[in-house]
Structure 1
Amino acid sequence: MLRIMTLPAVNGVNWSAISSRQVVTPSKWSMACSLPIRSEPWRSWRGNSVCWSLPAATSMALVPGARLAFIAPCPRICHLCGADSNMINLLPPSEQEVTVSQFFQVHPENPQPRLIKQAAEIIKAGGLVVYPTDSSYALGCQIGDKSAIERIRRLRQLDDKHNFTLMCCDLSQLGLFAKVDTGAFRALKAHTPGPYTFILNATREVPRLVLHPKRRTIGLRVPSHPIAQALLEQLGEPLMSVSLIMPGDTVPLSDPYEMRQILEHQVDLIIDGGIGGISASTVINLSEGEPQVIRVGCGDPTPFGDDA
């Protein structure tokens, strides 16, 4: 578990004054450290953020004047340390700093515009957000954000074959990312917004990394939940999403406070819209002409010829 602490001065060490050549002895740390810090920093694109090369057993990252982060070791060997296998090279701060996630309590029927705007800004900055839909809570990120999508795959332990869903605010937006013929349009118009995911042939607007590995298809959905709708309208673009089902579980997390305990250091924002559902959406394949029910969830499948 990662831990972020504000340390302007602890045990006589002024963190804001640490230079790139200073060695801090083990006794100065608030947790055990068997070796002192190596001196060479790796400056990131953020300018004044500095990562330090540290013993692999006690990897840490320092951001001068702000925070001290305890992080997991990176497997890369430090180019500054040469053949010293006891030292590692930390990733740039943009990739390795993990703070405690924000937690917004949003009204489930009348979402506060200020909080929705902040949530959209977090997503556009590359953040992962947990948000409610009309079936269950989902985990989402900005469309085409490769780094954020990989974070979702690691968190959910998904392989490259797992299908993401594009959450759209309306049919007009959905039509930019999917090829919709007359028959498909009628089905979409009759059953959106709602707890259905529709498999459709993708347009070139869909990033390749989220397409079906063998067919150019994508799952699309127009949710009816007011919070999801408000967030999508504020974003002005679809949200790449998967159900919030943790590794080893069979149903999505539904209690926002349980999500906070489990995901506090793994996502950037949790939107609390109340207790969520535990059912998946019903998946309908519209990419091959006649509708085909792929998965029965909380949406009624009977209009698509399934009597389940």
Structure 2
Amino acid sequence: MRTDLLLAGGAAIGLLAVVLVPDFYDQIGNLLNIRKRYVTLSLLAIVALLACVFYLMALVRANRARINDLTRSLSLEQANAIQADGSGQTIGVVIPAYNEEATIEEVVNSLPETIRGYLVMPIVVSDGSADATASRARSDGVTVVEHHLNQGQGGALQTGFEIAMREEVSIVVTMDGDGQHPSDRLERMVAPIIDDEADYVMGSRHKGTDYSGNSAVRRAGIRVFTRLINVLTKSEITDCTNGFRAIRGTELSKLTLTEERFSAPELIIEARKNGLRLQEVPITIEERQAGQTKKPQLGYAIGLTRTILTTWIR
């Protein structure tokens, strides 16, 4: 409110100055080496307009963040009533899903009950789905929570991670709800953490096999962003956008996660900044079993660039 008042007051003073003391703008023009008053006024008006636009953008972003936090809080309240018992060693498999009613049931049912003595605990986050994703995911032993508003994959993962930390799971695995990540690769993903060889394990389609049908442009883009992350973090990864990953449960709280949409680069950079031991394992990416990808084309590249740079800078 105070900022709004200051902006309005500044605009009013500027307009009064045009009427009462127009020579004031001639002095500003002289400082800027601008001889014509209307050019000076136009320049100052544009600067003021840009300031207002940036301020409004900041307000929108802050309001969106508050709404997203509220949405996730409501979802976490749902999870309180359906928590696992928390006993023994567990692997929490976080599955963000947005309108995946055609595949989510099969994905959940394909998960093994245990892996090398660790109990597997599925955590499905239905991210504002308008279909039967949540109801089809529900079965014995499956934690399902719903976002009433779509938060993006990053927001859904944050909810799943919060549940996993509450349950004090030993390892957190993330995988997609569209069936592209075969569950028979789960043991390969968690083995380096169980064997204390790594804290963060990423699946790599470039070291394994990719049947996803990505275009040549998209594959080239992934390589470019992967190289950028490698340069910024002094890493040697090969696949920066893969959503099939495993993280040691005790390391989750160290990661600062704010990205709602483009979470993969943020997770990698945060892991590197916090000294987690990274390792890649070859995996197979299957063709999407049903539906269409939710990722935008141009917006995806812009979003990844923004996420990489902001996460590295902060």
TM-score, normalising length: structure 2: 0.29
TM-score, normalising length: structure 1: 0.30
Q: Which has the higher helix share?
A: 2
